[in-house]
A and B are shown apart, each in its own frame.
Chain A
Amino acid sequence: MMSASAVVFYILSFFILATGLLAVTSRKIFRSAIWLLFSLTGIAGLYFWLQMEFVAAVQVVVYVGGIVVLIIFSIFLTQQSGKDLPAPLRSRAIFSVLAVCAGFVLTCVLLRGYVFVPAGHSGIAGTGVVDASVGNIGAQMLSTSEHGYVLPFEVISILLLAAMIGCIVIAMKPKPGDK
């Protein structure tokens, strides 16, 4: 007899995998983007199920609200969205399926043989379960002590600035006088 929580997990994972598969096989590019949106929302649900509310919120805001919208905009800018994508070459599709199945089976066999041991006294039934609240995450992210993440945080901010400027420079239309 499965508990309600386990049932929720299996429904969520089926939803994620089914919509992900549709996203990579759909022949209409716009539908493919919408299936990707459903898959990413399902992953946010999986984070909620794991009781990582902040990560789920970040997933919804950045992926669903940002990246998918960006992808849909670029589809509208570059593609007739009603047109079918060409089907993959038969030989390429067959060998891709073979390679992917081989990799999946290999990884599953390795996973089945591995015994996961929770570190120390922690683990799911242990006592020292940290509170993954926004306050804790923020305090540790900006802390300069031993387990603080302030240096990667600053590096990421520089990276985001560089990416933003790079995008503007790359996508800028050259002036008619240039070159």
Chain B
Amino acid sequence: MNQVPLSHILFVSTALFFIGMYGLFTRRNMITMLMSVELILNSVNINFVAFNRYLYADKLEGVFFTLFIVAIAAAEAAVAIAIIINLYRNLHSIDVEAADEMKF
């Protein structure tokens, strides 16, 4: 672990964040967009754990932030999937372009 500088871990998490952004931009299916959001949240978690390990090794704050982000991500995914299933029941599609009833 000593041989790898912190910036290399941050490069990996940056790349993962922008992969998730690419998915969010190009996908129009709600479930795949949700998967991209999970990738983005995971890149943030990698950052927190790496900073905790490399810069503040005498504390545990990064671990707590990661644990709370994981808990919130789980709640978010559950609510998002409930909404997606409800939309599918009403619109028979989970494409974001199909959900335009409230579009002005």
Contact = CB atoms under 8 A, between A and B. Distances in A.
Interface of A: 2-3, 5-6, 9, 13, 16-17, 20-21, 23-25, 29, 32-33, 36, 39-40, 43, 46-47, 49-52, 54-55, 58-59, 62-63, 66-67, 70-71, 73-75, 77-79, 85-86, 88, 92-93, 95-97, 99-101, 103-104, 107-108, 111-112, 114, 116-126, 128-130, 132, 136-137, 140-141, 147, 149, 152, 156, 159-160, 163-164, 166-168, 170-171, 173
Chain B, interface SS category? helix
Contacts of A78: 31, 84-85, 88, 94
A33 B35 CA distance: 8
A100 B18 contact: yes
A121 B96 CA distance: 51
Contacts of B101: none
Given A39-B39, A166-B82, A124 B57 contact: yes
Contacts of A24: 19-20, 22-23, 26-27, 32, 35-36, 39
Given A78-B94, A132-B60, 7 more contacts: A24-B32, A49-B1, A97-B22, A100-B18, A100-B25, A108-B11, A137-B60
Q: Which of the four size classes fits the interface of chain B?
A: 35 or more
Dominant secondary structure at the A interface = helix
A58 B10 CA distance: 21
Contacts of A97: 22
Nearest to A33: B35
Contacts, number: 238
Given A52-B49, A55-B49, A130-B58, A163 B75 contact: yes
A86 B55 contact: no
17 contacts: A9-B1, A9-B9, A29-B31, A29-B32, A39-B42, A54-B63, A71-B77, A78-B88, A88-B27, A99-B21, A130-B60, A140-B60, A140-B64, A141-B64, A163-B78, A167-B79, A167-B81
Nearest to A169: B82
Contacts of A167: 78-79, 81-82
Contacts of B14: 104, 107-108, 111
Nearest to A152: B68
B71 A156 contact: yes
Given A63-B70, A126-B58, A23 B35 contact: yes
A62 to B, nearest CB: 5
